[in-house]
Every structure is written in structure tokens, then in C-alpha cells.
């Protein structure tokens, strides 16, 4: 089956259903990893529309800047502009991507991004720095 024939429409109701199913009962906020692309920007806009109506949880965004593309600064500024417009707090994390011998730059960037996001989630959690 082609992924084009097996599509699901996106709606506030579907986002709420996914969040209901996957957000732990003790969650204190929602964090959206914001790349600057259309998918994550759309997700952030949808999450911000729910904002306090979903369990009273505050929405935040985190952007990881790998600095690997000449457009990296533009992506970061796009994220900042969107977050200002939506009135969503944004945390920008700059990472240095170290590529081990034999590894791809994409894999190394993904590993650096995941590590940065994991640290951000811990930092933004209750008891962490804000």
C-alpha cells in the first residue's frame, strides 16, 4: 500500500487524541522540537492552539542549531519569528557535530540533536532550570 493512499487527516481532535494517549499523567508541559521546517512549524501552531486547554500544560519549543548548512541562521530566525508570533517560549541549542571515522554526517547530526533535546527536556522539567 502506498503511503499516499494511507493518509490520515490532521485536526485538533486528532492531535488531542494523540496527546491524550501519549502524554504522561504527571507531565508539566509540552515541548515541541522545532526544526524550522513546515512539519514542526505546523505541529507547534497546532499545539499552541490547544495550549492551556490540554490539561493546562504550557507549550514550549526547542530548536537545535547544528550549524551545518549556510541556511542554519535563517532556520533559527524563522523559528524565533514563529515563536514570537505564537507567544511560545523558545530555547535554541547550538551543537557541535563530531563525525567519527566511518560515520555519516547525518547520523552524527541526529545523535547530537537527540542528545541536545534529551538534555533540554531534563532542563525544562520540574526542578530543572527554566
Helices 38-50 and 72-86, axial angle in degrees (round to 10): 20
| d(C-alpha 62, C-alpha 35), whole Å | 8
What pLDDT does 126 receive? Answer: 55
Question: Each residue's pLDDT tens digit in the chain (130 positions)?
Answer: 334 444 556 777 888 889 999 999 888 888 999 998 999 999 999 999 886 788 888 899 999 998 888 888 899 999 999 999 999 999 999 999 988 899 899 999 999 999 999 988 887 765 444 4
| 48's grid cell | 499552541
At residue 8, the pLDDT reads 56
Q: Which triple of cell numbers denotes residue 100?
A: 567519527
pTM score: 0.81
Cβ–Cβ < 8 Å for 60, 29:
yes
Does domain 31-124 fall under CATH 3.40.50.620? My reply is yes
Torsion angle, CA of 39/111/17/20, rounded to 10 degrees?
A: -140
Residue 9 is placed in which grid cell?
A: 487527516
Amino acid at each position: 500500500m502506498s503511503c499516499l493512499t494511507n493518509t490520515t487527516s490532521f485536526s485538533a481532535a486528532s492531535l488531542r487524541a494523540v496527546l491524550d494517549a501519549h502524554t504522561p499523567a504527571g507531565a508539566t508541559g509540552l515541548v515541541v522540537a522545532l526544526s524550522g521546517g513546515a512539519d514542526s512549524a505546523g505541529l507547534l501552531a497546532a499545539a499552541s492552539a490547544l495550549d492551556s486547554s490540554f490539561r493546562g500544560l504550557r507549550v514550549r519549543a526547542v530548536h537545535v542549531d547544528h550549524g551545518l548548512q549556510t541556511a542554519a541562521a535563517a532556520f533559527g530566525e524563522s523559528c524565533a519569528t514563529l515563536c514570537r508570533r505564537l507567544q511560545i517560549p523558545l530555547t535554541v541549542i547550538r551543537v557541535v557535530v563530531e563525525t567519527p571515522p566511518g560515520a555519516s554526517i547525518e547520523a552524527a547530526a541526529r545523535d547530537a540533536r537527540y542528545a541536545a533535546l534529551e538534555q533540554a527536556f531534563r532542563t525544562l522539567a520540574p526542578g530543572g532550570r527554566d
